[in-house]
Amino acid sequence: MDPVQLLSGAFLLVGAFFFIAGTVGLIRLPDRFSRLHALTKADNVGLGFIVLGLMPLTPDLFYGLKLVLVWLLVVIAGATGAHLIAKRALRGDGEDVL
């Protein structure tokens, strides 16, 4: 096994660890807001490492850029979604401010 594959495998394992941590947080944390913490942060970092691990295995540049784009969109969607869920949980009414 060549070193590139080893490195890529290590990154994938680290990414998987963060996803597991996020899931454990979802189960263990006491309230809605704290669970959002676990999901947004763990997903951001976990998916980041998965993308990093897949990067050396991509056949061409476009494939790699596509993975980065996926990560970027997931991060934006995750953070925005967490904010909206938290806001609705806090208020229960009202209009968007932003």
Half-sphere exposure of 10 (CA within 13 A, CB side): 7
Half-sphere exposure of 84 (CA within 13 A, CB side): 9
* CB 97 to other proteins: min, Å: 5
Pick out residues in 7-66 that bind other proteins (CB under 8 A).
17-18, 21-22, 24-25, 28-34, 36-38, 40-42, 44-46, 48, 62, 65-66
Question: Residue 79, interface with other proteins (CB under 8 A)?
Answer: yes
SS3 for 97?
coil
Distance CA 54, CA 77 (A): 21
Q: Which residues bind other proteins (CB under 8 A)?
A: 17-18, 21-22, 24-25, 28-34, 36-38, 40-42, 44-46, 48, 62, 65-66, 69, 75-76, 78-80, 82-83, 86-87, 89-92, 97-98
